[in-house]
Amino acid sequence: MGGQNCKNAVMKVLAAFLVLFLLVGHNAWAQQVCTSSVIDGQTREPLPYASVYVVGKGKGTIANSEGEFCLTAALDDTLRFTFVGYSPCSIKVSGVGNTVRLLPISTKLREVTVLPVMTILQRVYQRLSSDYSSHKNEKSDFFLRQVYDIAGTRELVEGFLQCKSAVNLRDILFYSGRHFRASMGKADTTSMVFLTIRPMTPHYGQTRSLSAARWKRIL
């Protein structure tokens, strides 16, 4: 009885080894080394460093400088081929031949109309006239602060102003502001110089662009 049990145990072990051997043999048979070249479908030139990967398996490779690649995959696996500027392609391993052709992506450019210089200038002029008529009454409020140095004198001007503008600046109205002037070296060393800040006064070079009535509005 004991000998029979021992014999049965040995048969079970042999059967397990046989099944394992068949599985390993089938897996080895199912895997295949796929070798091919990726080329341009129109010019038949090789596509260097094209990407090749097995769909859903997380593995792949890159072709060499001649577009050639070598990859191990199952016969029922699907290979995905990609290259910049070309439409991607998917092929079963069993259907991969000596070459894999990728077609370039067609790019359509919009038509461009070249106009003579005078035509462009005429359109700009017409647009300016239209904008001026539509926006001639528009105005905006601004705050201005400017610092500049002239001949050893540092000047600071700040003010609130309103500008009317349509295409180009037409009118400026100062609401309030201050004009500060100090010799170089003094303004940086003492805070007392800020006491010299006074209400902003008109610059003589600007009197021609602003009327006397508007200058009276300056505080």
Q: Is residue 117 part of a domain?
A: no
Distances (CA, A) of 84 to 37, 50, 81, 103, 207: 16, 8, 11, 11, 65
97 and 152 both lie in a single domain: no
pLDDT confidence of 38, banded at 50, 70, 90? very high
> Around 45, how many Cα atoms within 13 Å sit in the side-chain half-sphere?
5
As given in the structure block, the two tokens for residue 104 are 């370039």
Rg, the chain, Cα only: 42
* Across 27-36, 62-71, 102-111, 208-217, least confident range: 208-217
Instruction: Out of 77, 102, 127, pick the residue that ends a domain.
Output: 102
207 and 164 both lie in a single domain: yes
Predicted pLDDT of residue 210: 40
Domain that holds residue 89: 28-102
Predicted pLDDT of residue 103: 93
Residues 6+ apart with CB under 8 A from 52: 38, 60, 61, 62, 63, 69, 71, 79, 80, 81
Which pLDDT tens digit goes with each residue over 39-55?
Answer: 999 999 999 999 999 99
* Across 16-25, 98-107, 171-180, 209-218, least confident range: 209-218
- Per the model's pLDDT, the better-predicted residue between 138 and 9 turns out to be 138
Give the Cα separation of 73 and 79 in Å (integer): 9
Q: Is the confidence at residue 4, as pLDDT, over 50?
A: yes
As given in the structure block, the two tokens for residue 111 are 């038509």
Q: What is the pTM of this model?
A: 0.40
Q: Is residue 193 part of a domain?
A: yes
* Mean pLDDT to the nearest integer, 25-44: 78
* Mean pLDDT to the nearest integer, 57-83: 91
Instruction: Out of 102, 122, 150, pick the residue that ends a domain.
Output: 102
Q: Is residue 11 part of a domain?
A: no
Overall number of domains in the chain: 2
94 and 146 both lie in a single domain: no
Question: Residues of the chain with pLDDT > 90: what percent?
Answer: 23
Give the Cα separation of 74 and 59 in Å (integer): 12
142 and 92 both lie in a single domain: no
Q: Is residue 206 part of a domain?
A: yes
Q: Is residue 63 part of a domain?
A: yes
153 and 210 both lie in a single domain: yes
Rounded to the nearest integer, the mean pLDDT of the chain is 70
Predicted pLDDT of residue 205: 39
* Mean pLDDT to the nearest integer, 22-36: 64
Give the Cα separation of 99 and 75 in Å (integer): 17
Q: Is residue 18 part of a domain?
A: no
Largest CA distance in the chain: 131
Predicted pLDDT of residue 6: 56
Please state, as a whole number, how many other Cβ atoms lie within 10 Å of the Cβ of residue 34. 21
Q: Is residue 34 part of a domain?
A: yes
145 and 90 both lie in a single domain: no
- Per the model's pLDDT, the better-predicted residue between 8 and 139 turns out to be 139
Predicted pLDDT of residue 49: 92
Which pLDDT tens digit goes with each residue over 133-175?
Answer: 776 677 777 777 777 676 767 777 777 767 666 555 556 666 6
Predicted pLDDT of residue 44: 93
Q: Is the backbone of residue 85 left (phi > 0), alpha (psi -120 to 50) or beta?
A: left
92 and 44 both lie in a single domain: yes
Q: Is residue 8 part of a domain?
A: no
The 3-state DSSP composition of the chain as helix, strand, coil percent (nearest 5) reads: 30, 40, 30
E strands along the chain, which residues? 31-40, 51-54, 59-62, 68-74, 78-82, 89-92, 99-102, 139-150, 153-166, 168-183, 198-199
Predicted pLDDT of residue 63: 93
For the four alpha carbons of 167, 168, 170 and 172, in that order, the dihedral sign comes to positive
* Mean pLDDT to the nearest integer, 176-187: 55
Q: Is the confidence at residue 211, as pLDDT, over 60?
A: no
